[in-house]
Amino acid sequence: MKTVVYKPSPENIRLLADLLRRGETVAFPTETVYGLGADALNESAVAKIYAAKGRPGDNPLIVHLYDPAQLKDVALSVPPMAYELMSAFTPGPLTLIFRKKPEIPDCVTGGLDTVGVRFPAHTAAIRLLRETDRPVCAPSANLSTRPSPTTAQHVLADLDGRIPAILDGGPCEVGLESTIVDVSGDRPRLLRKGGIPAEALLPYTGPLETVETADKPLCPGMKYKHYAPEAEVFFSAYYDGMSDTIAAKYDELVSAGKRAVILCLDGNAAKYGDRALYRMGPDFTTYARNAFAALRRADAEKYDAVIAEGVHSAGIGGALINRLIKSSGGKVI
């Protein structure tokens, strides 16, 4: 299969919406990461997502909508807290888990009686969803286990020849996936940290259960290996002497014959002398935006090891720490 990359012109949006309605997969930009979409009500279309990504079938998909009025086709009930969260944070990087309508096939929800719903903010995504006018389920458009794609080129690198089309809406603004909040039960639960900081949710949710352990993940998807480049990743905790620890780790790797690169904020670059660096911009927001791209770049440039600076856990920092630790497989220095 030939994979074609399209710019978001009105004609191309119509063409890609048509592909989705005919049961094909289309990768599209969102403000978090690129998604690989299919008609959520068409089981054979959804099967193509799992096949293209090599994704385990018990890992449920998020359904993407453009209009809250579509919720009645997807969710069995929408509690008042969900409306408050939606008016505060959507369209945007928030996924809510609801009890699902029976019409949503098991292959979308991994057999669960709940469904994840998200309203992306990227204009090209909204235009595509509106033109398609069906619920579109979409996981991140990477090969399973690889870092999530934040440009159309990343999608192409993983899925060339496996999907018919990619909508190129430029680099993603947030760079990390949506925050997932389960509002289907008695008490709200934070299932995945993401683009909306956990502390911003609290005024709406009250106390949020956030327990996540390796053997009991809250999100089915979080038990799998994740976000891993070929290079070995090390993550440093965030503290005053962090750059000394990172420099020492770098030197140890290099004397063992490895090629290593450090991910650091611009302001810290001088602390590392002439060691190889990827500058992640001035602050945690740019670091988060560029993190997955940096992991892919390290592979393209054949580094053996990546050492990532830690950040503090406020704002987007919480999600960034989570993704970097997962990509390191728990190798925290």
Q: Contact residues for Mg ion (CB under 5 A)?
A: 140
Question: How big is the chain, counted in residues?
Answer: 333
Which entry of Mg ion, ligand TXA, none binds 264, CB below 5 to 8 A by partner kind?
Answer: none
Residue number, 47 or 112, with CB nearest to ligand TXA: 112
**Binding of residue 183 to ligand TXA (CB under 6 A):** no
Residue number, 33 or 263, with CB nearest to ligand TXA: 33
Alpha helices in the chain (DSSP H): 10-21, 43-53, 80-89, 106-109, 123-132, 152-159, 198-205, 242-255, 284-300, 317-327
**Binding of residue 310 to ligand TXA (CB under 6 A):** no
Shortest Cβ 55–Mg ion spacing (Å): 8
Q: Which amino acid is at 301?
A: E
Spacing of C-alpha 131 from chain mean position: 24
Q: Which residues between 149 and 178 bind ligand TXA (CB under 6 A)?
A: 177-178
Binding pattern for the stretch 210-249 against ligand TXA, x by CB under 6 A and - elsewhere: ---------xxxx---------------------------
Which entry of Mg ion, ligand TXA, none binds 37, CB below 5 to 8 A by partner kind?
Answer: none
**Binding of residue 35 to ligand TXA (CB under 6 A):** yes
Residue number, 95 or 151, with CB nearest to ligand TXA: 95
Rounded to whole angstroms, the Cα distance separating 177 from 94 reads 9
Shortest Cβ 140–Mg ion spacing (Å): 3
Rounded to whole angstroms, the Cα distance separating 258 from 250 reads 9
Q: Specify whether the CB–CB gap between 134 and 104 falls below 8 A.
A: no
Rounded to whole angstroms, the Cα distance separating 46 from 21 reads 12
DSSP secondary-structure letter at 310?
P
Which entry of ligand TXA, Mg ion, none binds 132, CB below 5 to 8 A by partner kind?
Answer: none
**Binding of residue 295 to ligand TXA (CB under 6 A):** no
**Binding of residue 52 to ligand TXA (CB under 6 A):** no
Total number of residues that touch ligand TXA (CB under 6 A): 28
Rounded to whole angstroms, the Cα distance separating 38 from 129 reads 11
Residue number, 162 or 275, with CB nearest to ligand TXA: 162
Q: Which amino acid is at 12?
A: N
Rounded to whole angstroms, the Cα distance separating 57 from 220 reads 11
**Binding of residue 116 to ligand TXA (CB under 6 A):** yes
User: Which among 1, 26, 22, 2 is positioned nearest to 13, based on CA atoms?
Assistant: 26
**Nearest to ligand TXA by Cβ — which residue?**
221
Shortest Cβ 236–ligand TXA spacing (Å): 25
Considering only the stretches 59-67, 160-168, 241-249, 291-299, report the one whose residues sit in contact with ligand TXA under the rule CB under 6 A.
59-67
**Nearest to Mg ion by Cβ — which residue?**
140
Q: CA of 254: how far to CAs of 44, 168, 244, 261, 278, in Å?
A: 49, 38, 15, 10, 16
Candidate list 97, 156, 163, 295; residue touching ligand TXA; CB under 6 A = 97
**DSSP string across 247-261:** HHHHHHHHHTT--EE
Residue number, 34 or 287, with CB nearest to Mg ion: 34
Rounded to whole angstroms, the Cα distance separating 215 from 261 reads 31
Rounded to whole angstroms, the Cα distance separating 7 from 13 reads 8
Binding site for ligand TXA (CB under 6 A): 30, 32-33, 35, 59-62, 93, 95, 97, 109, 112, 114-116, 118, 138-140, 177-178, 180, 191, 219-222
